[in-house]
Amino acid sequence: MLVHLLRHGEIEGGARYWGGTDVALSSRGWLQMRTAVVGGSWDLIVSSPLRRCAAFAQALAQERRVPCRLEADLREMCFGTWEGYSTAELMQRDAEGLRLFWSDPSLHTPPGAEPLAGLHARVMAVWQRLTTASDCRHLLVVTHGGPIRVLRAVQSRTPLSALLSIDAPHATLIGIECLPNGSIAVDARESQRSTSAEYR
């Protein structure tokens, strides 16, 4: 089974650590996502409940006449006191915390944020539910950079300490092969590029 992951497009307010903040797609973000799904066909769409994902997922489902489900466990990681700040602003407010987070996010959780282990646990739990309990053959998951990086880390056997080295481009379809038992097929060729400033 091939599952397609789609990260939301550009959002209003620009590049910030939005995390659990419920911000909307920009007009450019809508266009990016519509472009990303051209030619795709799915029989179930599952989305994060945050509107930068859910609004598009629900609109696409209505257009394609397929079911759409919202899954809370597909939401982005909460960044605690960093929510809503840009990288430049955090360099002024908490440069050392930012440096430590970029060096190993599994050990250095932002103040008040969700630990990376928690993100990993809930994303893998929802993945198992979706891939073993669903009869669909073509699944589209609309979510965020954090959950996508977790799934690609499993796919490439990348440790959580290096999660920020995994690329998760906005409004790009990423295919992940799922085995019959719900586990992710390992792809050792998976490329990894540093995107620490893009983790939001």
* pLDDT for 56 beyond 90: yes
pLDDT in tens, 64-110: 999 999 999 999 999 999 999 999 999 999 999 999 999 999 999 99
The mean pLDDT of the chain is: 91
pLDDT in tens, 134-153: 677 789 999 999 999 999 99
* pLDDT for 188 beyond 80: no
> Do β-strands 139-143 and 44-47 pair in parallel, antiparallel, or remain unpaired?
parallel
* pLDDT for 192 beyond 50: no
> Do β-strands 173-177 and 139-143 pair in parallel, antiparallel, or remain unpaired?
unpaired
- Quickly count: other Cβ atoms within 10 Å of residue 85's Cβ: 20
pLDDT in tens, 98-123: 999 999 999 999 999 999 999 999 99
The total of structural domains in the chain comes to 1
CATH of the domain at 177: 3.40.50.1240
Domain region containing 26:
2-198
